[in-house]
Structure 1
């Protein structure tokens, strides 16, 4: 008898109901030990203690220097985030290529972030919530062509003012960049606080040094529509309509085959058509499955292999497992004709090593590579969460993130308020976090269950999803929550699953799909 297959891929997180989402602040706490630096290292930050009495050397959206509370000396930076602004302050610093650096700062307040962008490697980001002074610290190594990095401090949307002091970047100095650190332009009030590449929520991408040489200028593979409908296809029978790939309606632009299996080797992947499903379909063979994938691709659709699900056990936590993941994923792409993969892991995500594996896979696949993700809502509440860090790490090759807006209870929106699942506000206020947290608009999709049978909670009718898409794209048809800006290039929507959609009469394909493809 074959091993048990994955069933429903969405875990129910009932303990997250209500305002408990706020507790993530403590989970991101990073308190640094004093880190010794090499004798040749110097502090590259200008005015890191703010003892000039002003933010000289820094570019801030709303930041100012105050003398009421300081970690050391007389002055410290104070910045007050707004509903559409994280109160970010940045400084661009000259560095040397292929060199190690230690970044640190003393901070105080709710959701205070410290990080660096443009390192040419894995951009560091750390954060904390602390009523008193606490030190944040992280390290990074610059890429072989990196001559400057941008250090940032910021809070979070709608949170109280935060303080920062004694900011330090220890390491070998580099040539002065042009423009100088003090000439850096201030971001707009709605600038993304944690975006490693894009200067504003609706701006174009500016890939970091980790970009694959095969990435396109927008990061979106050619041939896809502006607004994408993604659907998961079940490689098992759990009461939904059983389907061949050829049965999936043409409204679906990306079909995610669920799921790959983990092998005994860490990072290893395999895939086998479920024999019970094949029997239910009258004998669905590997050859027919591959032919159906080829036919969908010929019709302009994309088919990807989903990794994970509720019971997924794929572990990529070191260089060896990353290499195994890349080689086995690539072998399956070649064997079945998959255009790429979907990351639906619900545990054990490493932004460093899985990011490494995905970049290597994209380099093998070329410019048509499709990379989608389906994180849980808790995984995308903050840029300090590992899944969000992964999405930003692979932003240069990422097609779309279809967060699961279900099975999650209530969550924080980007305005700091708590919203309940199963409402339009839940979709728009949580999508706003990703849109202002660094992803391009075309990389943000709304993941919804196809019917009440498809998830434990969070179902919305197709009309409500359409209104949420309109609200995000144009500001029309909003609920009580209305974003302070719009994103006409919003990525699209996803559903679990094409099978449950068929069981319900295809409201996702027929209504949401038609709406997406009619949007300007």
Structure 2
């Protein structure tokens, strides 16, 4: 986590124009075709003119507007964000082996209309630029066993809002009966700082249910309950449910409201609303000098002992050896060290063992290594009376197998075994166990562009490799503090590359975590947002501590923009998060070397 302990990868990326152009050229633009509907044909699209809002449509963004419209009184307007391209889709019931014509009217730049799951060749039509309503038309034949097809319209990254209206699919109809009745009995259950549990009464004839949050479809459910996650603390939400069958979607149920709880550090008691996290060089010495535990100022709320390291890369056997007196002449005794830890805890501070660092390559390739990891880490926690674990895996500790393409269902052993090990530790120590992670941007935010070797092929298998770990443990995670330093340029949600050296980089990287982002450019594969109380922004304390140091003024700009939506620079975040937990720095020792400038600025900002 400093130049003497860590080397960060610098990666060159293809420019946005090249990626966008390649993607556009790969889309099969089809010549508009016309078809005269036969007498038995029907329009299978429900609410194709958006007169009933977004009913029957699943949209990643967008709403209905009254102007401009092509016909009727409403049309769709959606603005692609950096993490997706504003797609709205609808699944309809079709006949196998039948011919269909898909038509819609659109306005905007790079607007698409298409069909997936046809059973033959999926099709799409698009327009590069439509300043007024332009008709898009394409045709397809369903496969011999195809009974459902998904229709969609969407824009493209960074090209502004688009409009769509009068979407139809004409072809042989299917007697699917009537949509079900709307659900009744909707009520809330367990409410946390980041989720709300819902339940409702079963509807006869329903094959599933659609759950709406604040009028936008949030998820689907096969049964009569669901938990809507990814919510912000202390925020009011409205929920409705619709029943679904092959004939369509019912009207929405009556709404219920719930306000999420304020949040307390990912369910961990004792953290203040805004916290400062720092690494303490406990096992080695460098140019920053050794700092005794008792001499760490009260500014630091979480103190990570750097580092616990493995006896070998794949053993899973973690040892923590304190800095020897030959390297650290002022090192305290074990008894003094343990007493100082207890004194910090009595003052409300959390002290963790940090595992890894640049020199600590940890690869839990087997279940035996996993079990050894659990037992050896437990031994360290118990010996020093620590509050939990910080995972600082770097280098090749986490690399994805080529077939591991879904962050929600990882198959790579080093990932699966790490998640299992941490869950075992959490279960052993209970709800007070503090879990933090300190990945590099390469392992997290770069996942917006690349994910292992599964999406693009040939790129570094470490790209985005932390995402399955973070996602699997998000309910147990106290803090994520990504190292926003020693990093190459990373594309933000605005599709622009951001580099270290100012507030914009920290704002763009943190906005991705709080907003959510598509993984490897796939708009249907979105990493959900984390709660703001789970996020601390990682920064080097001094210019000596790592590339990417910024001045206190830039730190203040970062916090102002993310927490107050003021003092923003060229990057505008997608929300305002006053509950943002705080900052992490490498390191306490380097901050002391720099006259405590970093921690003094934090104290001044948060009072």
Q: Deviations over 1:148-195 (max 9, x none)?
A: xxxxx999974899xxxxxxxxxxxxxx99576443216678989xxx
How far, CA to CA, are the matches of 1:91 and 1:348 in structure 2?
42
Residue of structure 2 aligned with 1:466, choices 541, 553, 556: 556
RMSD over aligned Cα, in angstroms? 4.1
CA drift of 1:287 comes to 1.7
- What's the secondary structure of 1:183's corresponding residue? strand
1:379 to 2:443 alignment: yes
CA drift of 1:198 comes to 2.6
Residue of structure 1 aligned with 2:4, choices 8, 11, 18: 8
How far, CA to CA, are the matches of 1:313 and 1:332 in structure 2?
18
The structure with the largest alpha-carbon Rg is 2
Which residue in 2 is equivalent to 1:489?
Answer: 579
Q: Deviations over 1:214-234 (max 9, x none)?
A: xx9862311110111000001
Are the equivalent residues in 1 in contact too, given 2:389–2:435 (CA < 8 A)? yes
- What's the secondary structure of 2:277's corresponding residue? strand
Larger helix share, 1 or 2: 1
Which residue in 1 is equivalent to 2:124?
Answer: none
Mark the CA change 1:225 to 1:190 in structure 2 (over 3 Å): closer, same or farther: farther
Mark the CA change 1:6 to 1:496 in structure 2 (over 3 Å): closer, same or farther: closer
How far, CA to CA, are the matches of 2:376 and 2:236 in structure 1?
30
Alignment of 1:359-370 (within 5 A): 359-370=423-434
How far, CA to CA, are the matches of 2:6 and 2:154 in structure 1?
33
- What's the secondary structure of 1:386's corresponding residue? coil
Higher normalized contact order (CA 8 Å, seq sep 6+, divided by chain length) = 1
Mark the CA change 1:474 to 1:154 in structure 2 (over 3 Å): closer, same or farther: farther
Q: Deviations over 1:327-353 (max 9, x none)?
A: 211111001111111111113224422
Are the equivalent residues in 2 in contact too, given 1:197–1:205 (CA < 8 A)? no
Mark the CA change 1:261 to 1:156 in structure 2 (over 3 Å): closer, same or farther: farther
How far, CA to CA, are the matches of 1:205 and 1:228 in structure 2?
25
Larger strand share, 1 or 2: 2
1:330 to 2:378 alignment: yes
- What's the secondary structure of 1:362's corresponding residue? helix
1:429 to 2:508 alignment: yes
Are the equivalent residues in 1 in contact too, given 2:311–2:317 (CA < 8 A)? yes
1:82 to 2:81 alignment: yes
TM-score (norm 1): 0.66
Which residue in 2 is equivalent to 1:442?
Answer: 533
TM-score (norm 2): 0.57
Which residue in 1 is equivalent to 2:59?
Answer: 60
Which residue in 1 is equivalent to 2:600?
Answer: 510
Kindly tell me the number of residue pairs found equivalent between the two proteins.
Answer: 392
Structure 1, unpaired ranges of 5+: 27-49, 65-77, 93-108, 110-152, 162-175, 207-215
CA drift of 1:15 comes to 3.5
Residue of structure 1 aligned with 2:320, choices 248, 252, 271: 271
Mark the CA change 1:498 to 1:16 in structure 2 (over 3 Å): closer, same or farther: farther
- What's the secondary structure of 2:377's corresponding residue? helix
1:247 to 2:247 alignment: no
CA drift of 1:421 comes to 0.4
Mark the CA change 1:51 to 1:79 in structure 2 (over 3 Å): closer, same or farther: farther
Are the equivalent residues in 2 in contact too, given 1:80–1:160 (CA < 8 A)? yes
How far, CA to CA, are the matches of 1:190 and 1:417 in structure 2?
29
Mark the CA change 1:494 to 1:253 in structure 2 (over 3 Å): closer, same or farther: same
CA drift of 1:237 comes to 1.3
Mark the CA change 1:296 to 1:189 in structure 2 (over 3 Å): closer, same or farther: same
Mark the CA change 1:178 to 1:255 in structure 2 (over 3 Å): closer, same or farther: same
